[in-house]
């Protein structure tokens, strides 16, 4: 990663980091030249703000970064984006390995630029690795998040079901895993009827991606990601305003590939499986229709109340397959409902789980990793809102309420009792640039889930 360099004798600029609530105390300990400089600038200690400082010769060669808190990650992302181009070393050095990890991860995330189609305007700022930094841990996290962002940011013209499968295959090869794909009409022969129904209208055939890594004797962890590479809404066509960002509708697939990369790079002792139903929800003479009845791998029938609620359909077949091996842990990610965004906003993924123990582990991981989520309930009385008069279930609820919950309850129909399962309904997108989080595709929840898996099985 080009934003880091090994310790070097070349000239570097000193970068001091101070939590905003410690700034006044820090100022009292500075030499007169520094206090006079900052007072002259009218500098305000706001999180993420940076400024030059005069060195011993009076030249502005040192720099100051204000942190939201001493353990903040994201302010470091502001530094790597806002400082002048150059090479920096943290002085004083981070207090311990955890502090070094937070500083370096934030720096790496703030250095991200999606440059596949447009060259970055200037080179990344370079940070000298602190002596106590766990470089492997930093690189595993940063590379996973960069991968997730890249996948989501890539337009559907270059990220269809086939390209998504190629990305999964390349990831498996990089870490000695295996990846198989069931494509097109083979989905019917292999009994994945809902994946086929949703994707059959596209000129780019639907497929089920199946990545495996790890030793069979290790605990089985299965990740499922919604891979709708573009969503027109199908025959229940979206308006153009709602279709505008639908390249990100494969954000769930991007999350699980990023998480898988983190797990494999960290060599966690798990038997990992990643399942991605990859489709394009298009409009043609072969589109599935409202009020069609779909068969499923589970054996239940689904009435299509709306073709724009297609993500839960493809996930249903994949979750059913996942449960056939009875994994110790089953987690899915999906850009599933606008209702979750209305409830929690774009920054906060909704998390549902059939296990309080798993939910607690995930929330603890979220707090440790500074990767927030919020648990919503699998409220069983709402299941009746999915009733159909002519099929076992409908894919949408009968009313306009609790859309995120009823979607999660639909998915739960395809999860075997006794299997610990969590479902993430997320945006996978930053609607505006914040420190360390540029506008565009985003990884949400995967560092929290990694931390929970590491604590359970590592």
- The catalytic residues are 238, 312
Q: How many helices (H) and strands (E) does the chain have?
A: 15, 20
Query: How many degrees, rounded to 5, is the angle at CA 302 between CA 375 and CA 196?
Result: 95
Alpha carbons within 13 A on the beta-carbon side of 327: 25
Residues in the chain: 458
Query: CA-CA distances (angstroms) from residue 321 to 222, 224, 235, 273, 393?
Result: 10, 10, 28, 11, 19
Q: Which residue matches tokens 């295996």? A: 178
CA distance 458 to 455: 6
Structure tokens at 430: 């930053």
The strand pair at 421-425 and 393-394 is best described as unpaired
> Across 285-398, where does the E strand assignment appear?
293-294, 302-303, 329-334, 350-353, 374-375, 393-394
CA distance 456 to 458: 6
Structure tokens at 336: 């599933």
Query: How many degrees, rounded to 5, is the angle at CA 345 between CA 344 and CA 349?
Result: 60
CA distance 92 to 153: 37
What residues contact 385, with CB distance under 8 A and at least 6 apart? Answer: 397, 398, 399, 401, 402, 406
Q: Please, what is the end-to-end C-alpha distance for the chain in angstroms?
A: 26
The strand pair at 393-394 and 329-334 is best described as unpaired
CA distance 376 to 343: 10
> Are 283 and 201 spatial neighbours (Cβ–Cβ below 8 Å)?
yes
Q: For residue 92, is the peptide bond before it cis, meaning its omega torsion is within 30 degrees of 0?
A: yes
CA distance 108 to 77: 7
CA distance 329 to 415: 11
């Amino acid at each position: 990663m080009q934003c880091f360099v090994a310790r070097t004798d070349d000239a570097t600029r000193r970068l001091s980091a101070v939590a905003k609530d410690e700034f006044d105390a820090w100022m009292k300990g500075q030499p007169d030249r520094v206090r006079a400089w900052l007072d002259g600038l009218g500098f305000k200690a706001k999180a993420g703000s940076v400024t030059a400082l005069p060195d011993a010769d009076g030249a502005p060669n040192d720099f100051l970064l204000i942190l939201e808190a001493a353990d903040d990650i994201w302010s470091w992302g502001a530094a790597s984006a806002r400082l002048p181009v150059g090479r920096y070393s943290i002085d004083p050095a981070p207090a311990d390995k955890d502090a070094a990890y937070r500083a370096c991860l934030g720096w790496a995330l703030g250095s991200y630029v999606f440059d596949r189609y447009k060259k970055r305007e200037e080179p990344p700022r370079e940070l000298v690795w602190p002596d106590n930094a766990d470089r492997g841990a930093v690189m595993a996290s940063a590379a996973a998040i960069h991968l997730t962002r890249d996948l989501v940011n890539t337009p559907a013209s270059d990220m269809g079901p086939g390209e998504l499968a190629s990305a999964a295959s390349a990831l498996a090869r990089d870490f000695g895993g295996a990846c198989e794909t069931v494509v097109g009409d083979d989905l019917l022969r292999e009994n994945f009827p809902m994946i086929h129904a949703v994707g059959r209208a596209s000129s780019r055939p639907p497929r089920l991606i199946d990545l495996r890594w790890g030793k069979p004797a290790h605990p089985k962890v299965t990740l499922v990601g919604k891979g709708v590479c573009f969503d027109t809404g199908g025959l229940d066509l979206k308006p153009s305003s709602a279709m505008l960002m639908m390249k990100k509708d494969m954000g769930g697939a991007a999350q699980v590939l990023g998480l898988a990369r983190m797990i494999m790079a960290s060599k966690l002792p798990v038997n990992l499986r990643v399942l991605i139903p990859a489709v394009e929800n298009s409009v043609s003479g072969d589109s599935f229709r409202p009020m069609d009845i779909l068969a499923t791998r589970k054996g239940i029938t689904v009435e299509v109340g709306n073709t724009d609620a297609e993500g839960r359909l493809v996930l249903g077949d994949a979750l059913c397959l996942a449960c056939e091996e009875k994994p110790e842990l089953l987690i899915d990610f999906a850009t599933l409902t606008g209702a979750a965004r209305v409830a929690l906003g774009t920054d906060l993924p909704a998390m549902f789980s059939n296990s309080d123990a798993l939910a607690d582990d995930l929330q603890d991981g979220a707090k440790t990793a500074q990767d927030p989520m919020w648990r919503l309930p699998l409220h069983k009385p709402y299941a009746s809102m999915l009733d159909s008069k002519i099929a076992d279930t409908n894919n949408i609820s009968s009313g306009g309420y609790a859309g995120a919950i009823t979607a999660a309850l639909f998915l739960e129909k395809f999860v075997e009792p006794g299997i610990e399962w969590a479902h993430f309904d997320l945006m996978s997108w930053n609607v505006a640039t914040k420190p360390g989080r540029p506008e565009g595709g985003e990884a949400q929840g995967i560092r929290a889930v990694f931390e929970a898996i590491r604590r359970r099985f590592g």
